[in-house]
Structure 1
Amino acid sequence: MSASGRVIALHLGLLVLLFALQFILPAYHHGNLARIMVLATYAVGYNILFGYTGLLSLGHALFFAAGMYGMGLTIQHMGFTPAPALIVGIVAGAIVSGALALLALRTVGVSFMIVTLMFAQAGYLTVLYFGEYTRGDEGFVIQQAQRILWGIDLSDATNRYFAAWVLFSVSFVISLWLVRSPFGRTLVAIRENEERVRMLGYDTFKHKLAAMVISGTISAAAGAFYGLLFGYAGASFASVQYSIFPLLWVLLGGAGTVLGPFVGTLFMFYLIDLSSGVTSAYLLIAGLALVLLTLFAPQGLTGELRRRIWKNLP
């Protein structure tokens, strides 16, 4: 089998495995994996901007929340059904990411981080300010009757798992295709040496703008589906910690690898889940694991696999 064939087989094999696990896993892990796949979709979106383009954003919670509230508020206050509500959420994320990109991409480095963080905080405060509609920190529940998509009850565990699997599969395949395309290779070149790419005649601003919109749209899709599948939208999803989470997941799994976001999300989710059952200081255990991984696997779990064993792993 060619190198390209092995790459495709590996990534599609993960999707087949996740599909098969639906029929094997006990209820607890079944529910966990559905949640992990949605959050991993969020990490996939973040990885396109950070891992492949080299832009460190601290404001991705703004896109996640735009998708969640775009979906949730239209269902709650405008009587939308799930299908158009999801579209509204995804479009909201695309618009917000495009608008922020036009402003933030005029800065570089630390300034870019600060601008994205500033706008994310503005989004969080906006959610709190309009608490009459968003219910602020308390949030609001999306009722079971409002979560029926094309006759499919998404509050059912099996249906929820398959919906999460479809969402993750689509974003995963898009990410794999994108990074192997000329556009994706240009993004990697921008990450490595933007000035040289500009000298070769590429419009780096347009490439970074497109990367940020794609990243924000995928993140918004994750937010919209998270709210719909798990029946809740709250201001905590717009807070700083939800901008830090995808960064940690991508760093742990391996920035600039297609598999990295899923591996990092899975690792961190179960690390916190298992350590919280042992001690109330579970964040200390999670922090220690992060330090050890940073020291001994600085490229992340999948990044180390690529460095040591499979050099051509995308």
Structure 2
Amino acid sequence: MSDISRIHLLHAAMVVALVICWFVLPVYHAGNLARIMVFAIYAMGYNLLFGYTGLLSLGHALFFGAGMYGLGLAMHLGGVFAGPGILAGLITALVVSGVVGFLALRTSGVAFMIVTLMFAQAGYLTVLLFGTYTRGDEGFVLPQATRALMGIDLSDAQNRYFAALILFGIVLFFIGWLVRTPFGRCLVAIRENEERARMLGYDITRHKLIAVILSGTISGLSGAAYCLLFGSAQAAFAAVPYSIFPLLYVLLGGMGTTIGPFVGTLFMFYLIDWSGGNMMVAGVVLVALALFAPTGILGEIRRRFTPWLP
């Protein structure tokens, strides 16, 4: 069996396993898994920029929040239905990521990291400033009656779970395809040696900008999905800590792997849950990971046992 066939089989098996999980897991864990899949989409978007392109961003909460408030405000104030609301969230995230990418890519290294952090903080303050519309720290709730897509009530636990699964599967297969295209290979080349990639004739700035836009749009899709599926938009999701979480998810699961973001999200979610929200426990685990598994869970498995792992 070729490596590509193995990769397709692995991704399909993962989706099938998640389908089975709905029927065998207790209600509490099935509900958690729906959230985990949505946040894993966020982590996959982040991984495209950090894990594959090598650009460390601390501002992805801006994109998540753009998608969340793009959909939320369109439905809450504009009265649009869920379908156009998702489109509004995607367009908002795309425009914001395009502007941020165009400006932030004038810098590099630590400066890029700081600039993205500043943009994220500016986005969070904007949400608070326009509290008349966003309800500031309190946020707002979408009425249950509006959370339907093509006649399917997404406030229902089963419908919500499978909507999250379908979206997760689409993004998983898309990224699995993208990173094997010439564009995806060029992103990896930029990560490994930017100067050599430039000498080979690649337009580095254009590839980075597209990577920022794709990463931000996927992260915005996650934010829009969260708002629609769980029915609320809150300023906390646009705050700086939510720019750190996808970094932790990717580092735990394995940067530059297609399923690592899901594994890292799952691990981190339950680590925080079982520790009662004590981030010190998470910090100890991250230190141990840096010492004994520096490439993350999937990264170590790929390095030691299965080099074909995507």
TM-score range, shorter chain: over 0.9
Residue 28 of structure 2 is matched in structure 1 by 28
1:274-285 to structure 2, matched below 5 A, reads: 274-276=274-276, 282-285=278-281
Equivalent pairs counted in the alignment come to 310
TM superposition shift of 1:23: 1.6
Partner residue in 1 for 2:101: 101
What is residue 305 of structure 2 aligned with on the other side? 309
1:304 to partner: Cα distance:
0.2
- How big is the shift at 1:56? 0.2
- In structure 1, what is the equivalent of residue 216 of structure 2? 216
1:50-61 alignment runs, 5 A limit: 50-61=50-61
Q: 2:294 aligns with which of 267, 280, 298?
A: 298
Equivalents in 1 of 2:214, 2:19: separation in Å? 25
SS of the residue corresponding to residue 52 of structure 1 reads coil
- Cα deviations across residues 88-123 of structure 1 (Å, max 9, x unaligned)? 001110110011100001100000001100111100
* Partner residue, 1:151: 151
Deviating 4+ runs (over 3 angstroms): none
Q: Which consecutive unaligned segments of at least 5 residues does structure 2 have? A: none
1:258 pairs with 2:258: yes
Name the residue aligned to 2:201. 201
* Correspondence for 1:16: 16
1:32-181 mapped onto 2 (5 Å cutoff): 32-181=32-181
Q: What is the one-letter code of the residue matched to 2:238?
A: A
* Aligned-partner Cα distance in 2 for 1:76–1:155: 16
1:309 deviation in Å?
A: 0.7
Instruction: Measure, in 1, the Cα distance between the counterparts of 2:32 and 2:232.
Output: 16
Q: Deviations over 1:148-206 (max 9, x none)?
A: 11111111000000110011111111110011111111000000111111111110111
Question: TM-score scaled by structure 2?
Answer: 0.99
Tell me the secondary structure at the aligned position of residue 66 of structure 1.
helix
1:289 partnered with 2:285 = yes
Deviation at 1:244?
0.2
> For residues 234 and 272 of structure 1, what CA distance do their matches in structure 2 show?
20
User: What amino acid sits opposite 2:123 in the alignment?
Assistant: G
Matches within 5 A, 1:172-191: 172-191=172-191
Task: Quote the sequence identity (%).
Answer: 65
Farther-moved stretch of structure 1 (111-120 vs 285-294): 285-294
- SS of equivalent residue, structure 1 residue 56: coil
- Residue in 2 aligned with 1:232? 232
Q: CA shift at 1:3, angstroms?
A: 2.1
Mapped partners of 1:181, 1:305: distance in 2: 24
Alignment partners' CA distance in 2, 1:81 and 1:146: 7
Amino acid in the other structure paired with 1:308:
R
Query: 1:244 aligned to 2:244?
Result: yes
Tell me the SS of whatever aligns to 1:55.
coil
Amino acid paired to 2:281 = I
Partners of 2:247 and 2:215 lie apart in 1 by 13
1:57-90 CA deviation, whole Å, 9 max, x = no partner? 0000000000000000011111010100010001
Counterpart residue identity of residue 307, structure 1: R
Cα RMSD after superposing both structures: 0.8
**Counterparts of 1:72 and 1:300, CA distance in 2:** 34
Q: Distance in 1 between matches of 2:210 and 2:238?
A: 23
CA distance in 2, matches of 1:258, 1:221: 17
| Superposition deviation, residue 290 in structure 1 | 1.2
Distance in structure 1 (CA, Å) of the matches to 2:213 and 2:170: 17
TM-score (norm 1): 0.97
Distance in 2 of aligned mates of 1:100 and 1:261: 23
Secondary structure in 1 aligned to 2:77?
A: helix
The runs of 5 or more residues in structure 1 that have no matched partner are none
